Structure 1
Amino acid sequence: MALHDDRKEYVKGSLDDRWMNADPFVQFQAWMDEFRATGAEDATAFALSTVAANGDPDARTVLLKEFREGDLIFYSNYASKKGKDLEAHPRAHALFFWPSLERQIRVLGSVHKISAEESSAYFTSRPLGSQWGAAASQQSQPIASREAMEAQWKAIQDQHPDSIPRPEHWGGYAIRAERIEFWQGRASRLHDRIQFTRQPDQSWAAQRLQP
């Protein structure tokens, strides 16, 4: 199926180096606030790319739960496919794509687990059904049927009807940003790209990239 004619012009904004914030995380928050204000569903979703021990790349959508001091925080099952990838290669790429604003943000960095205390605090803030699901699922492992999965969930529910401790295999990760690129679509494919790179003294250096 040819898709040659599936195209559009990008006309909703521009990026001027003179008004970009010198701190990319301040700029990130400004763009995130704008996108959330549109009422978009799952506005914090991003594509997380990892590399397996054998070198195979992989990607999936996860939800950003916090960003602070140069870190992007998300949560997952540590024994999942992504968890094993990050154990083998503790680096990741995050892609936020916001087509309604004709924008995207790309983040590259190293990855580490956050503290058990912080993971537990977030876990207990989740709806109880989500807590049961996190405890019941052996994420990325095969299972015979949907019914078998629901039986695992029901067993956890029966064991912990009111509250459940955070499973050791579940918790948070932080992507420590080393490079952040802001992309704004422009007419005639002359898109704006401003890339920030973390320096040895932890400051940020910005440069414009060709589209």
Structure 2
Amino acid sequence: MAERTGIFAGDDPFALARTWLAEARTQEINDSNAMALSSVDAEGMPNVRIVLLKSIEDNGFVFFTNYGSVKAQELDQSGKAAFVIHWKTLRRQIRARGIISREDGPIADEYYASRSLKSRLGAWASDQSQPLENRAALENALAKATAEHGDNPPRPPFWGGYRLAPLELEFWGDGEARLHNRFRWRRASIDAPWDVTLLNP
């Protein structure tokens, strides 16, 4: 393994990612957990959008969405995805590529229950990614969801999480004169050991 010191030190990339995210939470003004998630459709055409990373587990990164959305359809179809998290104030970023699986159990229930009531009802009201006639139609759908589910809505069956188990991670730190610091963590499978390589900027 390449020698790593300072902000790159450690033998567990998930612990390192949690440390960087914790630092970002103290310095980024808004959405320190925002990440650009990339997927591809059935024809291989790429898509990218910002989603919020909700947890870093011991072997994966978890986020949540509507299972009827375009992103969910693409994730389910390919079973693979990539993301990048960039922290402008820290001058760091993390890139990942890996295997996607659904998180549709107690973890999804727990996170859904932690959201604000308006967000929980909004999940019922929005037919995410589908055409919308006008804003009034969405407001009517929200009113209907509120009347139907009240102040304790259950998690919709079409809403839950995804876990990206990376086969490759890159930790990037800004360097003087654009001579950046880049460490790539790579493994052959999600159960294999990591190989770490220092990359040219």
Which bin holds the TM-score, normalised by the shorter protein?
over 0.9
The answer on 1:182 being equivalent to 2:171 is yes
Segments of 4+ moved more than 6 angstroms: none
Residue pair 1:49, 1:59 contacting (<8 A) in 2 also: yes
Q: Which moved more, 1:168-177 or 1:196-205?
A: 196-205
- TM-score computed with the length of structure 2 as normaliser: 0.92
The answer on 1:148 being equivalent to 2:137 is yes
Structure with the greater alpha carbon radius of gyration: 1
Aligned to 2:64: 75
Aligned to 1:50: 39
Alpha-carbon distance, 1:141 to partner: 0.2
- Structure 2: gaps spanning 5 or more residues: none
Residue pair 2:28, 2:87 contacting (<8 A) in 1 also: no
Q: Distance in 1 between matches of 2:176 and 2:113?
A: 47
Q: Distance in 1 between matches of 2:69 and 2:104?
A: 19
Aligned to 2:192: 202
Q: Distance in 1 between matches of 2:151 and 2:126?
A: 19
Match of 1:138 among 99, 121, 127: 127
Corresponding pairs, count: 196
Query: How big is the alpha-carbon RMSD for the aligned residues of Structure 1 and Structure 2?
Result: 1.4
Q: Which moved more, 1:130-139 or 1:28-37?
A: 28-37
Q: Distance in 2 between matches of 1:28 and 1:36?
A: 12
The percentage of counterpart residues that share the same residue type is 36
The answer on 1:36 being equivalent to 2:25 is yes
Q: Distance in 1 between matches of 2:18 and 2:73?
A: 30
Aligned to 2:12: 23
Cα 1:39/1:55, change in 2 over 3 Å: closer
Q: Which has the higher contact order (CA 8 A, sep 6+)?
A: 1
SS in 2 for 1:113: strand
Q: Which amino acid aligns with 1:128?
A: L
- TM-score computed with the length of structure 1 as normaliser: 0.88
Query: Deviation per CA, 1:182-211, whole angstroms, max 9, x where unpaired?
Result: 111112221111011124553211110111
Residue pair 1:112, 1:175 contacting (<8 A) in 2 also: yes
Residue pair 2:85, 2:95 contacting (<8 A) in 1 also: yes
